Amino acid sequence: MDRLDNTIRPYAWGSPTAIPHLLGAEPTGEPQAEMWMGAHPGAPSRTDRGTLVEIIDADPQKELGAATVAKFGPRLPFLLKILAAGAPLSLQVHPDLAQAAAGYADEERRGIPVDAPHRNYKDANHKPELICALTEFDGLCGFRAPTHAADLLDGLGIDSLKPYVDLLHAQPEEAALREVLTALLTADREEMAHTVARAAAACDRLGGAYAPYAGIAHHYPGDPGVIAAMLLNHVRLQPGEALFLGAGIPHAYLDGLGVEIMANSDNVLRCGLTPKHVDVPELLRIVRFEPADPGVLRPEAAPDGEEVYETPIDEFRLSRYVLSPGAPAHDLTLPTPQILLCTAGTVRAGEHPLTPGTSVFVPAGHKAEVAGAGTVFRATVVV
C-alpha cells in the first residue's frame, strides 16, 4: 500500500484553521478548503511510485482489480476529500449521468473551452456525493415544503417578498418552487440587492431560525441566493452524521469540517452565493423541484466493527472503523481499490503509522490490516 501526499486547495471559502488543526500543523493564515485524496487529474495524490494517476494508468487491472475496471473503466471512480468550510459554498446542483453526458457532448460540439468561465460540464460524469461531519457541520439540503418556506419569508415582514410568499402557497408544490426560484434568479439585480439587504437586516435582528441566513448574507451581500437559500432545509450535522446528495438536489455547505466522497467529476451548476457564472435555463432543467426531508444518515453496523454509510450508488462506498487500543487488528483486504484515512488518534495501516489527516492507497487485493486507537475512514467502490 502507498502512503499519500495530498494537495490542499486554498479556495476562498475555506477555513484557515480547521485542516491545520486536524493535521497538527500551524495555520498559515490563508484559507485551506479541501484536501484531495485520489486520482483526479486536477490534483492527484502523490506516492513514492509517482502520482496515483500515473500508478493506475500504468496497470489499471493490478491497481483497481478486474471487476472495478470492467464496471467503471480504467480509472479510480471516486474522489475522497477533507472539506473545511469557513464560509458558505455556492448554492449548487449536480446533473445525473445522462444529463452530464449530454451536456458535455453539447459543449464539446459547440467548441466551448473546458476551462471557460461559462462552461457548465467539465466532464461526462455525474457527481453524487456524501458529506460526513467530523465537527458540528451546517448545510442546506433540498427544498423545504413550500408553505414552510413561505412562512419563513413572510416572517421577515418585507413587502417586496410578498409576491414570493403568495407563489409558494400555490399548487402543485413543484411548480410553485420552480416559479419562485426562476423569479429570484431573473429579477432585476439592483432591486433584488435592496430586498436582500433588508432581508439580511431582518434575519440578523430575528435570530433563531433566521441566523444561518444572516450569516450567508454577511458573506454574499445583495446576492439573490440569500433568498433562494431560505427555500432549502437547514441542517446541522453532529460528528458522525452524514448527508447524501444525489442529482438535482440543491445544496450548500455553510460551516464545519467533514469527510466528503464523490464520484470523480467536477460538474457543478450554481444557483447563487457565488460571483461565478449562473446558467439559469440549464440550472432549471437540472434542479429537482421536490420538497423532501434532507435525510440525515447515521452509520449502520456491519461485520468486524465496520460502520457503513449506505447510499444508492456504486462509484463509492464510505465506512469507518473506531479502533480500540489492544483490540485485534481488522483485516480490510478487498478485491477493490481502497483509500484509508485517519481522522482521530494513532493507528497503523499495514506498515504505515497514520495520524489525523494522513491516508494510504490500498491496491485491489492487497493485504490491508488496521489496528490502534483512533478512527479510520475507508473509501472503496461497489462491484
Q: Is 270 a catalytic residue?
A: yes
Question: Do residues 263 and 125 make contact, with C-beta atoms less than 8 angstroms apart?
Answer: yes
Among 168, 127, 86, residue whose Cα is nearest residue 251: 127
Pairing of β 129-133 and β 300-301: unpaired
- Whole-number Cα distances in Å, 57 to 45, 61, 85, 262: 14, 9, 33, 21
Task: Classify burial at 12, counting beta carbons within 10 Å of its beta carbon; exposed 0-12, middle 13-18, buried 19 or more.
Answer: exposed
Per-residue buried b or exposed e for 361-370, using 16+ beta carbons within 10 Å of the residue's own CB: bbbbebebeb
Q: Determine which one of 3, 46, 75, 270 is catalytic.
A: 270
Q: Does residue 172 have a cis bond before it (omega within 30 degrees)?
A: yes
Strands 78-85 and 34-38: antiparallel
C-beta neighbour count of 141 within 10 angstroms: 23
- Are 48 and 317 in contact by the 8 Å Cβ rule? The answer is no
DSSP 241: -
Unique residue bearing C-alpha cell 469540517: 257
Pair 19, 35: CB distance under 8 Å: yes
Burial class of residue 73 in the structure, from the number of CB atoms within 10 Å of its CB (0-12 exposed, 13-18 middle, 19+ buried): exposed
* Bridge partners, 341 (sequence order): 359, 377
Rounded-to-integer distance, Cα 189 and Cα 140, Å: 23
**Residues acting as catalytic residues:** 270
